[in-house]
């Protein structure tokens, strides 16, 4: 009997841990940078020596409030950190400091776009906590080796409601969330390096059921694509279990990216007993009106806001607007071009065409793109005034500009002899040459095969090495062929 | 609340402590008295009273985001029970899979 997977609804909640791009750790002055030599970003506070006192990093609060406002959360004014007590070697204090009881951001949502349309994924909370150190199990055969550089690095944990119903939705949510984190410049969103991590709580239930099914938690998802793959694999596995008449056991599983499957890490016999209580070493903190206003004012135009502006004010197609707003730096570059030109669509075409190709080929970022935005605007002006045609501009002239980005396009076009020729005599001469070469085609045209005009235009373009003004070429051709 | 052997054992596990039978009896007795004390406090009507979580009225004692105060690896590893000069070493956390 075949299983009808469509009878089931997949229910997923995601927990994202995002490392905040502060200089120092959450509760002390050790560097929070990634990739230092093992155990060099540590202090007595990180190592939990007796008598040390933690002190909260102001910047971390600012960053957490920032992402909360961007996700439409309500901001908790009175906050404190709780101790989450458990023993593990990568946690020197024997407890993790976490805003368990008073998450600084509550509720909110992230709008996603899938083939099914637009939907808001509701958030449960965003709270701050400290990261743990790193345990290495393969350095020494007899011991676990611990590096405490990461211990105490500030994180925000962003928790959704069980509001995601497919791998595609999870993919869209994470892409959107990462875009927001990067726009706000509070996390670099690098899942491979672990600065953004995701755990997925997955369950399935018959469509129409209101009670949630037993969930499994899947860990070790090191890319957005793998989150989608894991959800697709795991939900199918859960449905297979239910269809075979068995029960799902609540457990933690790990994703194997190599073969796209999951395997059990541990089964939760009883709920962990973390014995949370308010940390007595830290004072409570209050998000003041002043801080709230300050943070609100520091939030740049977010992708959605820019898309609305580009499509409505600038009349760009939705697709163009989305590609350009994919990264803030791209959007900023585009906006710098249109400070110098009113031809917004042409500016978008340059972004989506030659500029994007350069980014793809070099693997570089727009910040490393050598040609200044004003120069792209100057290129657009050259084309609009019929001095250069687009294909010459986007290939030869663009390539030349990449080598000499300081030069003006007009100057460079002159040097390279790329300026279009609008001299009637010159164009007429090229046309004469072409028509003389193909008298049979001319005869066919005159008999009524008017489609051949394209061939003639193309030939003129060829013999003039792209320099013949296309409009003038067309006009003169039509006259001569009468 | 009854303090029995199972409760003491559970707390000992959570705290990673080991007791012999004689110690367990003493601890059971101590715990019982502590809980009686808290039960007594619970008799008070605290409706409308916010729990006192912190012992001072200080709020927003914050640091600027500056890197300072780290120590060298050599210093840090001085107190490690075991190390290889680079890492802190602890007993194997994950058993080798055969």
Alpha-carbon gap, residue A18 to A191, rounded angstroms = 9
Give the residue from A56, A335, B5 showing the smallest Cα distance to A64.
A56
Looking at residue A236, what is its pLDDT? 97
pLDDT for residue A106: 98
B68: which chain A residues are within 8 Å (Cβ-Cβ)? 24, 29
Among the partner residues B63, B73, B92, nearest to A39 by beta-carbon distance: B73
**Residue A374: CB atoms within 10 Å:** 14
Rounded to 5°, angle at Cα A373 from A316 and A318 = 15
Calculate the dihedral angle through the C-alpha atoms of A467, A473, A474, A475, rounding to the nearest 10 degrees.
140
Name the residue in chain B with its Cα closest to that of A86: B14
ipTM: 0.90
- A136, A147 contact by CB (below 8 A): yes
The two structure tokens encoding residue B91: 């007993």
B77 and A136: CB-CB below 8 Å?
Answer: no
Please answer yes or no on whether B64 and A58 come within 8 Å at the CB atom: yes
Confidence of residue A266 (pLDDT cuts 50, 70, 90): confident
Report, as an integer, the average pLDDT of A302-330. 96
Q: Which residues does A341 contact at the CB level (< 8 Å), separation at least 6?
A: A347, A377, A380, A381
Where residue A442 falls among pLDDT bands split at 50, 70, 90?
Answer: confident
Evaluate if residue A96 carries a pLDDT over 70. Answer: yes
Q: How far apart are CA A32 and CA A47, in angstroms?
A: 15
For the ranges A264-278, A334-348, A419-433, B16-30, the one whose mean pLDDT is highest? A334-348
Q: Do B91 and A286 touch (CB under 8 A)?
A: no
Chain A residues in contact with B84 by the CB 8 A cut-off are: 140, 145
**Residue A472, pLDDT score:** 86
In this predicted model, what pLDDT tens digit does every residue of A206-240 receive, in sequence order? 999 999 999 999 998 999 999 999 999 999 999 99
- Reported as a single tens digit per residue, the pLDDT across A159-199 is 999 999 999 999 999 999 999 999 999 999 999 999 999 99
Q: Backbone phi, then psi, for A190, in 5-degree steps?
A: -90, 100
- In this structure, how many other beta carbons lie within 10 angstroms of the beta carbon of residue A69? 20
A98: pLDDT strictly greater than 50:
yes
- State residue A271's pLDDT score: 57
Indicate the pLDDT class of residue A130, thresholds 50, 70 and 90. Answer: very high
The predicted-structure confidence for A406-424, as pLDDT tens digits, reads as follows 999 999 999 988 888 878 8
Distance from CA of A277 to the nearest CA of B (A): 9
Best interface-test mutation with B: which of A102, A139, A143, A151 has the largest number of B CBs within 10 A?
Answer: A143
The overall average pLDDT reported for chain A is 94
Output DSSP code: residue A185: T
Question: Is the per-residue pLDDT at B93 higher than 80?
Answer: no
Instruction: Report d(CA A426, CA A472) in Å as an integer.
Output: 11
**What average pLDDT does the segment A474-479 reach?**
88
Give B95's contacts in chain A (Cβ within 8 Å): none
Q: Tokens 């657009």, residue?
A: A380
Average pLDDT estimate for A84-107? 95
Cβ distance B66 to A283 less than 8 Å, yes or no, reads no
Fold type of domain B5-42: Histone, subunit A (1.10.20)
Residue A308 clears pLDDT 80, i.e. is over it: yes
Location of structure tokens 């050598």: A370
CB A299 within 8 A of CB A184: yes
Q: Is the dihedral of CA A470, A471, A476, A482 positive or negative?
A: positive
Q: Which of B69, B75, B80 to mutate to test the interface with A (most CBs of A within 10 A)?
A: B69
Residue in B69, B77, B82 nearest the CB of A29: B69
pLDDT band at B95 (very low <50, low <70, confident <90, very high): low
The pLDDT tens digits for B53-67 are: 998 899 999 999 999
Q: Within 10 Å of residue A315's Cβ, how many Cβ atoms? A: 9
Per-residue pLDDT, B98: 43
| Predicted structure pTM score | 0.88
- Greatest CA separation found in chain A? 100
Backbone dihedral region for residue A334 (phi beyond 0: left; psi -120 to 50: alpha; all else: beta): alpha
Helix segments in A197-343, DSSP class H: 224-243, 289-298, 303-312, 318-324, 328-337
Q: Burial of A168 by CB count in 10 Å (0-12 exposed, 13-18 middle, 19+ buried)? A: middle
Here the tokens at position A34 are: 């990634």
pLDDT range class, residue A269, cuts 50, 70, 90:
low
Partner residue opposite A42 with nearest CB, options B71, B86, B90: B71
Q: How far apart are CA A67 and CA A63, in angstroms?
A: 6
Which residues, in sequence order, are bridge partners of residue A63? none
pLDDT of residue A1: 60
For residue A268, what pLDDT is reported? 59
Q: Which pLDDT score, from 0 to 100, does residue A59 have?
A: 98
Per DSSP, the three-state class of A86 is coil
Nearest to B82 among A143, A280, A284 (CB): A143
A445 has a pLDDT exceeding 70: yes
Bridge partners, A164 (sequence order):
A12
């Amino acid at each position: 009997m075949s299983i009808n997977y469509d009878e089931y609804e997949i229910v997923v909640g995601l927990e994202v841990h995002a490392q905040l791009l502060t200089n120092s750790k959450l509760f002390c002055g050790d560097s929070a940078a990634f990739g230092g030599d093992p155990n060099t970003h540590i202090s007595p506070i990180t190592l939990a020596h007796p008598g040390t006192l933690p002190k909260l990093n102001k910047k971390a609060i600012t960053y957490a409030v920032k992402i909360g406002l961007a996700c439409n959360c309500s901001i908790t004014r009175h906050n404190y950190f709780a101790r989450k007590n458990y023993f593990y070697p990568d946690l020197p204090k024997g407890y993790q400091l976490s805003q368990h009881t008073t998450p600084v951001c509550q509720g909110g949502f992230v709008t996603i776009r899938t083939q099914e349309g637009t939907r808001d994924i509701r958030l449960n909370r965003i709270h701050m906590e400290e990261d743990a150190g790193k345990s290495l199990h393969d350095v020494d055969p007899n011991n676990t080796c611990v590096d405490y550089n990461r211990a105490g690095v500030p994180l925000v944990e962003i928790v959704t409601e069980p509001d995601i119903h497919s791998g595609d939705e999870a993919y869209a949510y994470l892409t959107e969330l990462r875009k927001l984190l990067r726009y706000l410049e509070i996390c670099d969103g690098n899942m491979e390096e672990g600065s953004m991590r995701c755990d997925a709580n997955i369950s399935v239930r018959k469509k129409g059921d209101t009670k949630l099914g037993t969930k499994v938690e899947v860990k070790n998802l090191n890319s957005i694509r793998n989150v989608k793959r894991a959800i697709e694999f795991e939900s199918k596995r859960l449905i297979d279990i239910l269809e075979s008449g068995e029960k799902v056991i609540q457990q933690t599983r790990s994703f194997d990216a190599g073969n796209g499957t999951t395997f059990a890490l541990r089964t939760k016999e009883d709920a962990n007993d973390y014995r949370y209580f308010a940390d007595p070493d830290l004072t409570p903190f209050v998000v003041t009106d002043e801080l709230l206003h300050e943070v609100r004012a520091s939030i740049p135009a977010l992708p959605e806001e820019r898309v609305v502006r580009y499509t409505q004010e600038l009349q760009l197609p939705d697709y163009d607007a989305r590609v350009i707003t994919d990264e803030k730096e791209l959007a900023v570059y585009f906006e710098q071009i249109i400070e110098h030109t009113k031809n917004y669509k042409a500016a978008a075409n340059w972004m989506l065409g030659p500029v994007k190709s350069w980014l793809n080929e070099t693997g570089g970022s727009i910040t490393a793109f050598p040609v200044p935005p004003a120069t792209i605007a100057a290129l657009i002006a050259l084309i609009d005034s019929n001095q250069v045609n687009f294909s010459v501009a986007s290939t030869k002239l663009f390539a030349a500009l990449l080598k000499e980005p300081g030069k003006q396009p007009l100057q460079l076009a002159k040097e390279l002899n790329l300026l279009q020729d609008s001299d009637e005599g010159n164009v007429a001469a090229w046309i004469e040459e072409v028509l003389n070469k193909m008298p049979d085609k001319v005869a066919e045209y005159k008999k009524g095969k008017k489609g051949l005009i394209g061939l003639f235009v193309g030939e003129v373009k060829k013999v003039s090495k792209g320099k013949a003004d296309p409009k003038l070429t067309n006009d003169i051709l039509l006259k001569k062929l009468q | 609340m009854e303090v029995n052997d199972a409760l003491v054992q559970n707390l000992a596990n959570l705290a990673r402590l080991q007791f012999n039978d004689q110690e367990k009896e003493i601890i059971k007795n101590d715990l019982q008295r502590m809980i009686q004390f808290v039960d007594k406090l619970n008799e008070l009507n605290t409706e409308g009273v916010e729990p006192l979580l912190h012992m001072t009225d200080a709020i927003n004692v914050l640091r600027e985001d500056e890197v300072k105060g780290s120590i060298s690896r050599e210093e840090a590893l001085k107190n490690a029970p075991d190390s290889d000069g680079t890492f802190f070493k602890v007993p194997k956390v994950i058993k080798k899979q055969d």
